[in-house]
Amino acid sequence: MIETRRLVAGYKSPEALRDALTHSVEHNDVAAYVMFRELDFFEQLGALEAYGAISIDLVRALLGERLVDRWELWSPAIDAIGGPDVYPMFKQIADRMPTDGPTAKPGA
């Protein structure tokens, strides 16, 4: 994931990331598969929460608004490769994260 985060951080906007991903997919570049790691991570995290393997409170405590930020960063790229149905669990869990205010703490 470090390799992915470093690669993604090199793009100055969600649109630049979209263009890089679509270009990499079209050319079957290794970079596409590196980028897909993060998308797959969030999709799997969403599935784990949806099926009860982890709680939404744990996800909120660990990621909160950062998960929403990543969804917003990746949304144009996801739209370009087929839309939210390509990564439905990522969208679902991003929609459940707080967008303002503090994240609830266990026992509060």
Provide the whole-model pTM: 0.87
Q: What is the DSSP string of 4-36?
A: HHHHHHT-SSHHHHHHHHHHHHHTT-HHHHHHH
Give the per-residue pLDDT at 108: 45
Distance CA 107, CA 81 (A): 41
Distance CA 30, CA 23 (A): 11
pLDDT in tens, the chain (108 residues): 899 999 999 999 999 999 999 999 999 999 999 999 999 999 999 999 999 999 999 999 999 899 999 999 999 999 999 998 999 999 999 999 875 444 445 444
Give the per-residue pLDDT at 26: 97
Give the per-residue pLDDT at 105: 52
Give the per-residue pLDDT at 13: 97
CB atoms within 10 A of CB 42: 20
Q: What are the residue ranges spanned by the domains of the chain?
A: 2-95
